[in-house]
Amino acid sequence: MNEHTFLEHMGNFGVICLAVILATVVHYGVLKRLNAGALFIKRYPRWRLLYGVVMSLVAHVVEIAIFAGAYGISTASQFGYLEGNFSSSIADYFYFSFAAFTTVGFGDIVPVGPVRLLAGMEALTGFVLITWTASYLYIEMTRTWGVED
């Protein structure tokens, strides 16, 4: 059994921190722009809400891509690997990242070794960012319902 050194664990921790910070910064930036930039749709509140949903989904895909990249870096740096129905393709990294971010976790691809911590942190981060989006959209809906016909 291969024991990982302290430096490898610190490298893995660095990749995890960077992915979480980048994803959070992206999410904050998108929600802030939505709040400021959606004023041009003030005459059409339904469009503002649709715009918010679409841009939130785009933000989540970008955040998932950040974590997919983190898996690529982690496996290339030998901080563990992904096994199962996994061929090391970009599509597989995205698929696994989507499953982890949304906390679905189908189980056909499984993290092994220190990269498991990245998968756990992605699930936690995804849960927080998805609920942040839900809260934002709930506030937008209450505003929209107050202005419509």
Give how far Cα 102 sits from Cα of 28, 58, 114, 120, 145, Å: 18, 14, 21, 11, 28
Taking 3-state DSSP, the helix, strand and coil percentages for the chain, each rounded to the nearest 5, stand at 75, 5, 20
- pTM for this model (two decimals): 0.89
Strand partners, 111: 82
> The domain 6-147: what is its CATH number?
1.10.287.70
At 11, the pLDDT band (50, 70, 90 cuts) reads confident
- 66-98 pLDDT tens trace: 999 999 999 999 999 999 999 999 999 999 999
> What whole-number distance in Å separates Cα of residue 69 and Cα of residue 12?
13
pLDDT at 1: 43
What residue has token string 């999410």?
A: 27
